Structure 1
Amino acid sequence: MAGDVTGQQNAGRTRRRGAALEQAILRAAVDELTESGYAGLTMDKVAARAGTNKNAIYRRWPNRLALGIAAYRQLTTTVRPPDTGDLRDDVLELLRRANRHWSSPLGMILRELLAAAGGAAELLAQLQDQSGDAAAVPWLTVLERAVARGEVAPEALRPRVATVAVVLLRNEFVMRGVPTAPDDVLVEIVDEVYLPLVRRSGPVPS
């Protein structure tokens, strides 16, 4: 009887295809990632947890890093950008949110993935979002509001300029290995780098 039950379960597993199987693999990868981090994520463990085989995983994700990135993206959520009515306050709030995230257990997974990705630009793009500019959206949003208020010139509305502050914060974690960035570092990034950069075109004509 036990053998019959096991056989039925295995048969049910082998019948999963397409989106159903993909979601089962992703759920298993998410569980492994949150329990053991990227260092403990293996194709064998994910396959066992998902009730499938490694070939089914490799057909969808070519390696462990690609699977880890896909699993991490399942854990992230979109947060509404702040709207304080002041560019400096908005940027500081965005940086503080990013700092809290990078300092959290989920942020530790993110740092492991970034370290593993190294120079793989296409995987880093997946890590941020499906499009290269998606990570800049909240920064562009607060800049657009600042332009509308007359705080900065429209020329500042470029993704590379908009994301300078968070890139500098990321370097604190990735390059310097800090567990969290002190608030005075965030203030320094905003006051000494970000605001002078976005205002470099001079005052907006009235």
Structure 2
Amino acid sequence: MTTDLGRPRDPRIDDSVLGATVELLGTSGYADLSVDAIAKRAGTSKPAIYRRWPSKAHLVHEAVFPISEATELPDTGSLAGDVREMVRRSTAVLTTPAARAAMPGLLAEMATDPTLHAKLLERFGDVTGRGITDRLDNAVSRGEVRPDVTAAELVEAIAGMALMAIITRNHALDDDWVHRTATLITRGISA
């Protein structure tokens, strides 16, 4: 039997730190964001933050890309509907001011640190692995998608197209963009 020593962690600190991180990203950007500034804004200490997150990148990733209802996979009953909803949700998350500010720094750190890259992607393992695989298996059984399409490929297509559009466009990705992109992806993986 394992016994926890010390005080239990206060979830209010987690919420305060995550909120402060999102707020500061919008004003300072990733490069100028410091754990010290986050601690001050959150009303806590740097050691309290480092007990929860091993690095700024881990903290920013969790703050900007929370696992919540938005990351739950839709089940619309059709592949086209599921893909459209995945594109819409991905676009909504990736176009927030905090995500736009965080992405360049997170991508740079992930590119140079394979362990960080693996750890950050692991947070969404159930969503991208099991969940999308289940949706694809259902779509294969309905005759909507080729059986060789993988969850990783679908995630890469959705995220890749959304990221490229964010980089190349100065305006929001509207419902028309979501619809056209989802249609393009759906046709590309259709049986």
Q: Same fold (TM over 0.5)?
A: yes
Q: Is the 8 A contact 1:24 1:50 kept in 2?
A: no
**Percent sequence identity over matched residues?**
24
After TM superposition, give the deviation of residue 149 of structure 1 in Å: 0.9
| 1:5-36 per-position Cα deviation (integer Å, ceiling 9, x unaligned) | xxxxxxxxxxx956516x46533322312433
Q: Could you say which residue in structure 2 is the equivalent of 1:86?
A: 78
The answer as to 2:36 corresponding to 1:44 is: yes
Once the two structures are superposed, residues 29-79 of structure 1 have per-residue CA deviations (whole angstroms, 9 ceiling, x without a partner) of 223124333637532233344443x34544654543332223345x44034
Structure 1 counterpart of 2:188, which letter?
L
User: Cα–Cα, structure 1 residues 76 and 61, in superposed 2: closer, same or farther, change >3 Å?
Assistant: closer
One of 128, 135, 138 as aligned partner of 1:142: 135
Judge conservation of contact 2:75–2:82 (CA < 8 Å) in 1.
yes
SS at 1:181 equivalent: coil
- 1:110 corresponding residue in structure 2: 99
Answer yes or no: is 1:183 the counterpart of 2:175.
yes
Question: Taking structure 2 as the reference length, what is the TM-score of the superposition?
Answer: 0.69
Change over 3 Å in CA distance of 1:89–1:66 after alignment to 2:
closer
* CA drift at 1:82: 2.9
In the alignment, which of 92, 109, 129 is matched to residue 100 of structure 1? 92
* Structure 1 residue ranges (4+ consecutive) displaced by more than 6 angstroms after TM superposition: none
CA deviations over 1:99-138 (Å, ceiling 9, x no partner): 23334xxx22122222111231544555555255743555
* Match status 1:161 vs 2:146: no
* Structure 2: runs of 5+ lacking an equivalent: none
Partner of 2:14: 26
Partner SS state of residue 168, structure 2:
coil
CA shift, 1:168, in A, is: 0.8
Contact 2:17 2:49 (8 Å CA) reproduced: no
Which structure has the larger Rg? 1
CA 1:94–1:51: 2 relative to 1, 3 Å: closer
Partners of 1:179 and 1:112 in 2: how far apart? 15
Post-superposition shift, 1:141? 3.6
**Normalising to structure 1: TM-score of the pair?**
0.65
Residue 146 (structure 1) shift: 1.1
Q: Which structure's relative contact order is higher, taking Cα pairs within 8 Å and 6+ residues apart?
A: 2
Aligned residues: CA RMSD: 3.3
Alpha-carbon separation, structure 1, partners of 2:163 and 2:173: 10
Residues 91 and 162, structure 2, Cα contact 8 Å, conserved in 1: yes
Post-superposition CA distance 1:119-176 (Å, at most 9, x none) = 31544555555255743555434322211212223222x1232221332122211x22
Q: How many residues align?
A: 176
C-alpha distance in structure 2 between counterparts of 1:168 and 1:152, whole Å: 19
Contact 2:136 2:151 in 1 (8 A): no
Among candidates 142, 165, 171, match of residue 172 of structure 1: 165
